[in-house]
Structure 1
Amino acid sequence: MASVQVPARIHGLLGEAGELFVIALEGLRRTWDVRTWFWEFVEQSWFLARVTSLPVILVSLPLGATVALQVGQLAAQLGAQSATGGAVVVGLVREVAPIAAALIIAGAGGSAMTADMGARRIRDELAAMEVMAVNPIHRLVTPRLWAASMVATLLASLVIVAGAAGGFVFNVLLQDVTPGAYFDGAVSLLQVSDLVVTLLKSWLFGLIAAVVAAYMGMNCASSPVGVGRAVNRAIVVAFMLVFALNYVITTVYFVAFPPRI
């Protein structure tokens, strides 16, 4: 029986996917040894929060306002302007918040992680750590995984608040919807499971962004050009994985918990 030949490109993609899983599992395996990575975790968390908080707010405010304007115009034609708040907040909670948090983490924080790991590779710091019997994944990748996932979860909450505020301003001030009707529509449609799944998705998306950033940086070409290409690849791959995983989680969630009408 003839053996099936796997194309080299597909074989390479499968190999990279396997290495991503290996780095993620190895990074999480030594989580219990908090003393070795706690201060690096604090430093990375502060860095990520500092570089992503303002961009998230600046993105969420006009995004919520734009959604409120578009949905409000359609709702006005149907005579259901009071439902605008529900549409805006439910959309923010279910889809926009985790996606926006992941994209900001991957774009602003993940690119910096990739550049940092790539620079360490060029300077042979990773090899030097291995010579000193220090696992670079446990020392460098583990704190970055937890920092990115935690900050992404917090950013999702910030997206919801900022987006709801932007939608509130336009819907209430420009479209003459009462504040009570705006928030009542949101509360009536939301479920506790929506918030739980949103936070879970944000945590997973932040973890994916950190894993991809660390892998690309640790395996880049040993040159400044290689680091730049690794940063570009890390952002693109992280975006693709986030959107694909979001589709899977959302599909399973809607089957398990049908939306409230």
Structure 2
Amino acid sequence: MSSPTPSFPGAAALRETGRLFALGIDVGRATFKRPFQVREFIQQCWFIASVTILPTALVSIPFGAVIALQLGSLTKQIGAQSFTGAASVLAIIQQASPIVTALLIAGAGGSAICADLGSRTIREEIDAMRVLGVSPVQRLVVPRVLAAMLVGLLLNGMVSVVGVLGGYFFNVVMQGGTPGAYLASFSALAQLPDLWISEIKALLFGFIAGIVAAYRGLNPAPGPKGVGDAVNQSVVITFLLLFLVNFVLTAIYLQVVPPKVS
């Protein structure tokens, strides 16, 4: 009789993490294989954009307003009101915009991706595709992951614009700020790499949301309850990974790109 395989605390989580990374590598390889599922990619882009664009726009307004009000109050206390616009833009573009975009993509688009793939899995459609020699990763996962990345990239720009406009409105109207000083301070501290890191974050966050949703959708527990649990797990795991990756990217960016001195 063979002895049971030894295990240690966290072994299951470590195996799941390895499989998640393996799926990410498989998606990267399958992206460059032909034929590329153009129609599926366009449909997924339209679906993710349709379910996230309105909530993203609505959420970005209070985000920009809260940041502008908080920074406006702080700069007023220390006598640096002329830098309110620059500080608000940096906070919105670098941090709030990609995070808001990724959270809504994970919550709306990622949960739908996970539910779709999970239902296909429990109906044994995924196994049938493998039997027929069709790669589920190339046929189903790659278009969804790339769609999440593209929509995240585009929505991030929209959130940045709406957030900055919302911050401008609330700072000028509610706190009595000067419109010219708010706009003129944009160039005081903000620089072009700030926009680049924001777009890179949005792209990477979309990739993470798509990969996690696809992985949980391809590996649910049996039955409809398993699919529901997989959807919840995918959203929670994505949120945790997003905040962790955001911290790492921000720390690297602040070390590599020197701050602009006014």
The alpha carbon displacement at 1:185 in A equals 1.4
* Residue matched to 1:14: 14
Secondary structure at 1:176 match in 2: coil
The alpha carbon displacement at 1:6 in A equals 7.3
* Residue matched to 1:215: 215
CA distance in 2, matches of 1:35, 1:211: 20
* Residue matched to 2:188: 188
* Aligned residues with identical type, % of pairs: 46
Q: Deviations over 1:159-181 (max 9, x none)?
A: 11111111111111222222221
CA distance in 2, matches of 1:42, 1:260: 40
Compare 233-242 and 186-195 and name the one that shifted more: 186-195
* Residue matched to 2:69: 69
Structure 2: which amino acid aligns with 1:32? F
CA distance in 2, matches of 1:37, 1:84: 47
Question: Normalising by structure 2, what TM-score?
Answer: 0.94
The alpha carbon displacement at 1:81 in A equals 1.9
Question: Is the contact made by 2:67 and 2:92 (CA closer than 8 Å) also made in structure 1?
Answer: no
Q: Deviations over 1:126-176 (max 9, x none)?
A: 011111110001100001111001111111111111111111111112222
Compare 172-181 and 140-149 and name the one that shifted more: 172-181
Q: Deviations over 1:98-129 (max 9, x none)?
A: 11111111111100011001000111110111
Residue 39 (structure 1) aligned with residue 39 (structure 2): yes
CA distance in 1, matches of 2:30, 2:92: 35
Compare 162-171 and 186-195 and name the one that shifted more: 186-195
Return closer, same or farther for 1:6/1:66 CA change in 2, 3 Å cut-off.
farther
Please list, as runs of the form range in 1=range in 2, the aligned pairs for 1:128-147 lying within 5 A after superposition: 128-147=128-147
Return closer, same or farther for 1:86/1:6 CA change in 2, 3 Å cut-off.
farther
The alpha carbon displacement at 1:31 in A equals 1.6
Q: RMSD over aligned Cα, in angstroms?
A: 1.5
Return closer, same or farther for 1:35/1:180 CA change in 2, 3 Å cut-off.
farther
The alpha carbon displacement at 1:7 in A equals 4.7
* Residue matched to 1:98: 98
Compare 188-197 and 107-116 and name the one that shifted more: 188-197
CA distance in 1, matches of 2:225, 2:236: 17
Return closer, same or farther for 1:41/1:9 CA change in 2, 3 Å cut-off.
farther
Runs ≥4 residues deviating over 3 A: 5-9, 33-36
CA distance in 2, matches of 1:34, 1:53: 31
* Residue matched to 1:250: 250
The alpha carbon displacement at 1:34 in A equals 5.5
Question: Normalising by structure 1, what TM-score?
Answer: 0.94
The alpha carbon displacement at 1:53 in A equals 0.7
Return closer, same or farther for 1:131/1:260 CA change in 2, 3 Å cut-off.
same
CA distance in 1, matches of 2:89, 2:200: 18
Residue 59 (structure 1) aligned with residue 59 (structure 2): yes
CA distance in 2, matches of 1:6, 1:254: 43
Q: How many residues align?
A: 257
The alpha carbon displacement at 1:9 in A equals 4.0
Compare 173-182 and 113-122 and name the one that shifted more: 173-182
Secondary structure at 1:36 match in 2: coil
Which runs of 5 or more residues in structure 1 are unaligned?
A: none
